[in-house]
Amino acid sequence: MHNAPTFTKVSLVTGADGRAHWREEAIALSEGKPQARLSPLLPGSSVQLRESPVGFRSEFHCTEQPQWVFILRGRMAIGLHDGSWRVFAAGQHFYSADLLPAGAAFDVGVHGHRSRQDGDEPLVTLFVRG
């Protein structure tokens, strides 16, 4: 359809430098009807729920398998090696695909991202693997 609305896919990816970076891309909502626009079908094979208590923090790590991360309750902060943090609140999402580069040994000073629960309520997330 001409001028179809889009959905913004926020992705955490591994760049050519081996470091995690954010990227945004538009997914056309080119299917469905004017009252309910749909994207083409996207792959998804399994889902998993997680609750992280107040104070949860992870070390730097890479995503093992690409997956959508949907924030159901609370807030999740994602930190990169450049010192930046991006916070996602309930109702927001990102696609986590910052995989360890092929043939690389994990280097905590270069690869991956870290995450933490942010705020005063537990973090509940839904992971959808592709």
pLDDT tens profile 57-107: 999 999 999 999 999 999 999 999 999 999 999 999 999 999 999 999 999
Q: What is the pLDDT of residues 26-41, one digit of tens each?
A: 999 999 998 999 999 9
Band (3; pLDDT cuts 50, 70, 90): confident
42-129: CATH superfamily: Jelly Rolls (2.60.120.10)
- Indicate whether this model's pTM tops 0.85: yes
What residue type is 45 in one-letter code?
Answer: S
- Could you state, in order of their start, the residue ranges of all structural domains in the chain? 42-129
Residue 1 pLDDT class (50, 70, 90 cuts)? very low
| Residues 42, 104 contacting (CB under 8 angstroms) | no
Q: What is the pLDDT of residue 4?
A: 77
Task: Read off the tokens for 17.
Answer: 């430098």
The pLDDT of residue 72 is 98
CA angle at 6 for the pair 15 and 74, rounded to the nearest 5°: 70
Q: Which amino acid is at 117?
A: Q
